[in-house]
Structure 1
Amino acid sequence: MKLDGKSRIDLISPQSSGDLQQPPHMIFQFLFRDNAKREEVRRIIKDAFGSYFVIDPTNIGFFRIRLSRRPPVDELEERGLHEAAVQFHAAAQPIELASDGVKAFTGIITEVIAGDPKILLIDEPEAFLHPSLAFNLGYELSRAALNTDKRVFVSTHSPTFVMGCIQSGAPVNIVRLTYRDGVATARVLPSADLLRLMRNPLLRSTGVLSVLFYEFVVVTESDTDRAFYQEINERLLRFKPEWGIPNCLFLHAQNKQTVQIIMRPLRELGIPTAAIVDIDVLKEGGAPWANLLSASSIPPITHPSLATLRTSVMQAFTSSGKNMKRDGGVEALVGAEREATQNLLQSLAEYGVFVVPGGELESWVKALGVGGHGPGWLIPVFESMGEDPESPSFLRPGNDDVWAFLGSVRSWLMDPNRKGIPA
């Protein structure tokens, strides 16, 4: 059965009560006769909307759904035709007067619990629903499908619905479909891999499921970095769209060591994910450096040469006596040593790891004359950049500085032949 927006609302329309001497063949007939299934639907609707689902038989020859403020005192009050039953149903609201969200939610739940089809195709189940109800629907739909041995195929753009499905405990596979510039992709995230993602506290804290509904992702070290680069991207999209990154989610990983923890699984899903890190990422040798290269899908055969180059660059900074982050980054070196450092940064950029050439976040937009570090730098910078796009003092994109840097990130993300995404 295919349940689009109209058909799932139609499921709550009155249905024939049929011959009670014959086996049931319609959903309401099944629910009217099966106390356990009716009680399960009632529980779900009560949890979702605070009203009690009841089957009203008082329109002779038809069953209809009502939403009651209280549960029936006994089975006879709901299923009978005597005066008490008539008054009970008269006091309950016909479901036709409820919102489309209530009607669609109820239609889906009744079908999966009492319906006959073993395969359900549902288009945008979150339509008409508040995010919390979309989560509830995903949770209950998955549990009900598991208990009734049904298979459900859902097309959705709701991370909260997907989260509800996962937390139900039912096995869930995700197929992520993309299409850009004539190139279509399909990636499968099996249930076992999905559980592995959701068990990682860092990934859960970033709202990793939201990533599935974006085309591109940029991972930064801190929330300060994330806020700044996201604002730069917003201004590029408005005033210099050829350098801005469309449909992009910016995430932060707490620190540089954990950037690769977020980047690796997203790339394995086929999601183009770039990393932006300060230049002191080069200080990390051994396992941290190897993990970064591995998460970037840089061929293992090149790891030794990159490790040797990294060591040489670090020796050059040490010999210079300058702080690689605070004293200008690449510009702190001269001649062949600067060129070697640039070559290393370019090698990383080819695989979507972008090192700030000036050393750190605070090296950008120096013309604004803002000092400080971290949040103490970010807030004055945002104030200096201005809020009103129509104001002459509003900082618009230029052709260099951070604008060109983020433009290079866009170039990698938009390239269908980009390096660093597993086949």
Structure 2
Amino acid sequence: MESILNNLEAHPQPQKKESVTPKALLRNIVFKNKDVISLNEDQIIVFVGPNNVGKSLALREIYTLLGHSFRSVIISEVETIKYGDSKSVDTLINSVAKKGAEDEYLRFKGQAIHPDNISRSWEDENRLSILAPLFSKLLTTEERLKIANTAENISILTESPSHPYHFLILNDTFEKEFNKFFKQAFGLDLIVNRAAGKVIPLHVGVSPELESGEDRVSSGYIKKLSMLPTIDRQGDGMRSFVGVLLSAFVAFESLLFIDEPEAFLHPPQAYLLGQMLAANITHGKQIFLATHSEDLLKGLIDKSPNRVKVIRIERNQNTNEINELNSDAIKTLWRDPLLRYSNILSGIFHSKVIICESDGDCRFFGAVMDSLTDDKEQVKPDVLFVHCGGKQRIPVIVNALVRLGVKLLVVADIDVLNSDSPLREIYSGLGGDWEGLEPIWKRLKSEIENKRPELETSDVVSGINKIIEKETNRVFPKTSVEAIRLLLKKVSPWSEVKSAGKSFIPAGEATKLFSEVINRCRSVGFNILEVGELEGFDKTVGGHGPKWVHEVLEKDLKNEPQLEDARRFVSQLISQ
């Protein structure tokens, strides 16, 4: 596909053998808070973050600052790097602009440029001034929907293409490749009607077969093709998909800005769009995207992690905070299957992420939060609960999301205090001082483990023998395996800590140490369940894991007396 796009880039064919095709790229973006993001050629820069923090605004401000300064809100200034000389720029603009009949001005994209001003604008150190429309393109939601409307036809021998559809007419190979992309996304063909007179319709459906002796302008073929609906009569999803991809593929501008390219698309199409943009945009360009879509972002990273730079914008009162994740960091993170094949990445689009051990934890805490915030006048917290399949995986998520400035909380069962790993990694990852916590934790651990286990070694041996002696089957049954497992758990005081929670902690010094550890962890967003484990919030319900969660969620979560501790705990999470 790239070679096809390189051929398409021959339009508007500005260069001569002795000159270089001019282009402009961004070297640096300077934000109002003085943060500077440095960029490379070929990069895809993706702005992400919660709602209403300025992702789309940042995109528009960068685009506008290329031409002139103004009272911007998020972006302070942009620094460009230019390739080519003013003579090559003059050649380029003359190839795409229309000359006035009564004056010398060159008209292009609504801009009137006097030839004498071309050199002066090109020499501007940071901006492109009046030449900005020549090297940059902003594709808004409205514009890409309009692109899917029927276009006027041109004489391919005497006129230059002025609409993306014209490139489909001019290049058969490009038309076939673009149809493959469309079919992959929607399961239907996208076919150019070359015999519709003054217009160029694109039809959607199963492509008619050419009969013997027919070609694509034969009357029989055209009649069958004309019976298919056109793209401009389709839903916004199809139209937007065509508008974004087609515009991106044929654009000769070196700076392309697309606001919410995933708009109107279902998740699978958004993912494909990300893949196609990352894999097929010609090198030598920079693409700037503002998105709310985890699927689009995954598609970009899956296909071309080397090109992607993620910039997360967060608003803290009237100040925007900027965090970036470069391609090296992205590749490191993407090697972890947990991050690659889960919804954890969607955390960058929320104001707060709460990491739990299991899916059941997420469901329970999320349901309790909904019950606490079901007042129509109350703003719903922008919180995402994610799980990682056990506490050992929590540090992976913490390290990934902290780098993007995501506000994080962690909820873990009380037995996370049993070992320095992952306790140390979680606490340190959230910004805690492990050297300060470690001696207190060690003293607490010692106090807990000095409590006599329920069973002596002789009791354990006796208990296991009793279970084994009862079995006569050739295959040892799962029920007996579980019975032995439960027996062994009772040997360790930590099984009792998890079951009984804080009440198991010895009185006196151990209780003081426990409170100190809990408070220090909570101060960095690390919330350890004092009830021991999730099931400790309501012991009137039997079972464990999903069974317990299912039964508890049948209750009145807002008023059930047994769940008062759960409501208090979740309220703390919301306000923390």
TM-score, normalised to structure 1's length?
Answer: 0.84
Q: Per the alignment, do residues 72 and 53 of structure 1 end up closer, same or farther by CA in structure 2, a change over 3 Å counting?
A: farther
| Letter of the 1:259 counterpart | I
SS in 2 for 1:212: helix
Q: Deviations over 1:325-379 (max 9, x none)?
A: 223425632223211210111111111111112322222245xx23443334333
Say if 2:256 is the partner of 1:83: no
- Tell me the residue number matched to 1:169: 304
Contact 1:330 1:338 in 2 (8 A): no
* Aligned equivalents of 1:114, 1:93: Cα separation in 2: 24
Aligned to 2:560: 395
Q: Structure 1 residues 49-58 or 346-355, which shifts more?
A: 49-58
Which of 179, 184, 195 does residue 42 from structure 1 map onto? Answer: 179
* Partners of 1:158 and 1:49 in 2: CA distance: 19
Q: Structure 2 CA distance, aligned partners of 1:353 and 1:208?
A: 18
Q: Which residue of 1 aligns with 2:131?
A: none
Please give the secondary structure, in 2, of the residue aligned with 1:340: helix
**Which of residues 379, 382, 407 in structure 2 aligns to 1:247?**
382
Q: Which deviates further from its counterpart, 63-72 or 233-242?
A: 233-242
Residue 353 (1) aligns with residue 526 (2)? yes
Q: How far apart, in 1, do the equivalents of 2:202 and 2:341 lie?
A: 41
The question of 1:332 aligning with 2:505 is answered yes
Aligned residues of 1:245 and 1:410 also touching (Cα < 8 A): no
1: CA distance, partners of 2:179 / 2:245: 10
**2:552 paired residue among 374, 378, 381:** 381
| Equivalent in 514, 522, 534 of residue 341 of structure 1 | 514
2:410 to 275, 288, 296: 275
Question: For 1:102, which of 223, 238, 247 is the aligned residue?
Answer: 238
Deviations 1:12-65, CA, capped at 9 Å, x for gaps: 233333332236332233221212211111111222223322222323343332
Task: Determine helix, strand or coil for the equivalent of 1:378.
Answer: helix
Offset, 1:397: 10
RMSD value, Cα: 2.8
Q: 1:58 to 1:315 in 2, by over 3 A?
A: same
Partner SS state of residue 326, structure 1:
helix
Q: Which amino acid aligns with 2:512?
A: E
Over 3 Å counting, the alpha-carbon distance change for 1:291 and 1:79 in structure 2 is same
Q: 1:84 to 1:205 in 2, by over 3 A?
A: closer
8 A Cα contact 1:397 1:403, kept in partner: no
Task: Select the structure of larger CA radius of gyration.
Answer: 2
Deviations 1:139-194 (A, max 9, x none): 2222221x364432222111112222222226222222222533422221222222
Percent identity (aligned): 25
Q: Tell me which stretches of 4 or more aligned residues in structure 1 moved more than 4 Å.
A: 76-79, 239-242
1:290 to 405, 411, 424: 424
Alignment of 1:229-240 (within 5 A): 229-238=365-374
* Displacement after TM superposition at 1:79 (Å): 5.2
CA pair 85-278 structure 1, distance change in 2 beyond 3 A = closer
Q: 1:245 to 1:87 in 2, by over 3 A?
A: closer
2:394 partner letter = V
Q: Is the 8 A contact 2:391 2:422 kept in 1?
A: no
Match of 1:159 among 265, 275, 294: 294
Matches within 5 A, 1:111-126: 111-126=247-262
Name 1:64's counterpart in structure 2. Answer: 201
Q: Could you state the TM-score of these two structures normalised by the residue count of structure 2? A: 0.63
Residues in 1 aligned to 2:159 and 2:376: alpha-carbon distance in whole angstroms: 67
Query: Are the structure 2 counterparts of residues 103 and 209 from structure 1 closer, same or farther at C-alpha, using a change threshold of 3 Å?
Result: same
Gaps of at least 5 residues in structure 2 are: 1-136, 453-492
Unaligned runs of 5+ in 1: 413-423
**What amino acid is the match of 2:280?**
A
- Aligned CA distance change for structure 1 residues 216 and 397 (closer, same or farther; 3 Å): farther
Match of 2:168 among 2, 27, 31: 31
Give the distance between the partners of 2:262 and 2:140, measured in 1 at CA: 11
**Kindly tell me: are residues 135 and 288 of structure 1, through their superposed partners in 2, closer, same or farther at Cα, counting changes over 3 Å?**
closer
Q: Which residue of 1 aligns with 2:536?
A: 363
Are the structure 2 counterparts of residues 163 and 340 from structure 1 closer, same or farther at C-alpha, using a change threshold of 3 Å? same
Q: Distance in 2 between matches of 1:370 and 1:62?
A: 69
Distance in 1, Cα, partners of 2:198 & 2:269: 33
Which of 1 and 2 has higher RCO (CA within 8 Å, sep 6+)? 2
CA positional deviation for 1:9: 1.6
3-state secondary structure, aligned to 2:571: helix
- 1:88, distance to aligned residue in structure 2 (A): 4.4
How far apart are residue 314 of structure 1 and its match? 1.4
Q: Is contact 2:323–2:403 with CA below 8 Å preserved after alignment? A: no
